[in-house]
Amino acid sequence: MSELILVLCWLGVVQSVLLGTYFLSNARDKINYLFLGLTLLMIGIRVAKSTIYLFNPDPPLWVMNVGFAAHALLGPLFLIYIQSLFQKSPKRILVILQFIPALVILAFSSILSLDDFWYRGGYSALLYYTLIYLALGWSLVVVSRKAKPLASVILILLTTITIFQVSYFSNYILRLTPYEAGAVVHSLLIYLISFLVLKDNNVFNIQKKKKYDNLNLSTDEIDRYKKKLIDVIENQKPFLNTNFSLAQCASLTGIPTYILSYVLSNALNQNFVNLINSYRVEEAKKLLADSSKQHISIAGVAHDCGFNTLSSFNSAFKKFTGITPSDYRKKIPA
């Protein structure tokens, strides 16, 4: 059993570091990615410290204190990450001030011993310190969710981070859970989160809606833009061009790209690719059903309707009709 726990913990460490690195590498214009990446890296370090301590009761002092320093960063990073989700990030100086406790622990990592400091109130203070940040973070979520609801996967992530941190409080202060509980639970849930990120790599990018924050369009304006868009697409059929893009659509309609994106999202409830593919599929259905066009291959139909590849045509056709183009053609009476 201990071997299984050891493997789970180290797998959690590796995955947390990899996922944290992924978010950091994509944090150039996404401040929430920066703090999420740092949070996951600190969790990885904290779990590594716990795993080493669990299976080696006498680890080097610096290893213990690096783990405690990472723990001291988790509370502030948790709160700052939540603030960034709601575009309420604190000033840089306030962020730096919140990192001071962790920096102090690192500075004195060679002298802060378990018996003389951590077990004489230092660890308890750290756990209560973290608990305060968790409470502040969740309070902000509750207060702000009505104005800007969070995706369920972000709530899963926040819950995972919370369970991980509370587990140490539950173990040391309340004596309710085993020491390894947090590390094991985190290791299991971090793979679920990683799967969701792989499924949709924009799942955590709440800030993508920011460009619409100051866009105030009346219902009449939205309807007018929507009508203009549909008229151009249906009458000129620009979607038959395999390279038809959002920028080209904006040029044809005379609607700025950002307004076009807004209308697609809010008036038509879909993105540009789905809209264009839906028209291409409708055009393909006409060709497939036309008895005079039966000599055209499926690949030929795909190209004539604006698809770059046969595979993209098959995928889109099945998405909108539930069957493949070949099956659709077979169903048409001779």
Domains for the chain: give ranges and CATH numbers. Answer: 2-209 (1.20.1070), 211-331 (1.10.10.60)
Q: Which of 35, 60, 37 is nearest to 48 (CA)?
A: 60
Q: What is the pLDDT of residue 150?
A: 76
- Residue 253 CA to residue 251 CA, distance in Å, equals 6
Q: Which two tokens stand for residue 265?
A: 């999202």
Q: What is the pLDDT of residue 194?
A: 84
* Residue entry with tokens 């219902």: 219
pLDDT tens for the chain, residues 1 to 334: 688 889 989 999 999 999 999 999 987 767 888 999 999 999 999 999 999 998 887 899 999 999 999 999 999 999 999 988 876 767 889 889 999 999 999 999 999 999 999 999 999 999 999 999 999 999 999 988 766 677 777 888 899 899 999 999 999 999 999 988 888 888 888 888 888 777 655 556 544 444 555 567 788 889 999 999 999 999 999 999 999 999 999 999 999 888 998 899 888 888 999 999 999 999 999 999 998 989 999 999 999 999 999 999 999 999 999 999 999 998 887 6
pTM above 0.85, yes or no: no
Do 201 and 184 contact (CB within 8 A), yes or no? Answer: no
Q: What is the pLDDT of residue 208?
A: 45
Q: What is the pLDDT of residue 210?
A: 46
Helices (H), the chain: 2-25, 31-55, 61-85, 92-98, 100-107, 122-144, 152-172, 181-199, 219-236, 246-253, 257-266, 272-289, 298-304, 310-321, 325-331
Residues 83-119 have pLDDT tens digits of: 888 767 678 898 899 999 999 999 999 999 999 999 9
Q: What is the pLDDT of residue 202?
A: 57
Residues 196-229 have pLDDT tens digits of: 777 655 556 544 444 555 567 788 889 999 999 9
Q: What is the pLDDT of residue 204?
A: 67
